[in-house]
Amino acid sequence: MANQSVLGLYENADTAAEGARNLRAAGFTSDDYEVMTGNPYPEGAFGEHVKKNKLFRFSLFGGFIGFITAFLFVFATQTAFPLVTGGKPILAIPASMIIMYEFTLLVAMIFTVIGVIFESRLPRPGGAGPLYDARITLGYIGLLVTVDQERIGNAQQALQSGGAEEVINEPA
């Protein structure tokens, strides 16, 4: 059965927390709903489950790629133009550290940005989406429930009884 979404809009954190409590009492799990806010709240403030993000893996991987690229680059240029300077080896690591550091930073940054986009599930096709409400950036809190059509009525009821100022259904 196809999934359907419903959005409950709450004026403040207390009523939103109440709405989330109602959802859980009605048998919905924290994977069934998302909390949307205009500013960060402490993690789990609404009982939601936030998966540990893996952004650091992108940065580490990017840094590794950058480091290896730089190493190969300096290795290639130093062996292509072998000049002994001050009796040091042709492939002198201390002299190559800065360029390796630069590449490491540059590629790590690129991968971090890719990671932010990927892990934030951006860009969203169609912008913010039909069930996004602009009042969220005025301080309202949205509880977006996405479940199969059979349970959508229960979700609406739970959101409403939790003190939602408005419950918005996904347009057909």
Partner 1 sequence: MTTTHNGHEAPGAPATQEELTQELIHDARQTGPRMRRALWILALLTALGATAAILMMLGGLDDHTRWKYYAVAYFYVFSLVMGIPMAGIGLRFARAQWRRPTSRAAELFALAGPVMLVFFLPIMAAHPGLEGRNSLWMDWRLGPWFPDLIMLTAFVCIGLAFIYVSVLPDLAAVRDHGNGRSRNIAASLAYGWIGTARQWAMHKSALGILGAMYISAYAMTHTVFATDFAMVLTPGWKDPIFPAFHAVTGLQMGLGLFIVVQFALRKWGGLARYFELEQFWAYGRLLLALTLFWFYFFWSGFILFWYGRLPHEQQIIALLAFGDPAIDNLLARPQLWMFVGAIGLSFITAFLLIMWNPVRRSILGPAVVGVVIIIGNFFDRLRIYVNTWSIEQVGGHELHEIPTNIGYPGLLEILVFIGMLSAVALMILLASRVVPFVSLWETREALLLRVVRPFGVGHAHIVAKPD
Q: Catalog residues that contact partner 1 under the rule CB under 8 A.
A: 13, 34-43, 46, 48, 50-51, 53, 55-56, 59, 77-78, 81, 83, 85-86, 88, 92, 95, 98-99, 101-103, 105-106, 108-110, 112-113, 115-117, 119-129, 132, 134, 136-139
Rounded Cα gap, residues 141 and 146, in angstroms: 16
Q: Which residues contact 130 (CB under 8 A, 6 or more apart)?
A: 170, 171
- The residues with which 169 forms a beta bridge, in sequence order, are 6
Q: Is the CB of 4 or the CB of 73 nearer to partner 1?
A: 73
Q: Is the CB of 78 or the CB of 156 nearer to partner 1?
A: 78
CB of 10 to partner 1, least distance (A): 13
Q: Is the CB of 101 or the CB of 157 nearer to partner 1?
A: 101
CB of 36 to partner 1, least distance (A): 5
CB of 56 to partner 1, least distance (A): 7
Strand runs labelled E in the chain: 3-10, 33-36, 141-148, 166-169
Phi-psi region of 6 (alpha: psi -120 to 50; beta: other; left: phi over 0): beta
**Do residues 163 and 7 touch, judged by C-beta distance below 8 A?**
no
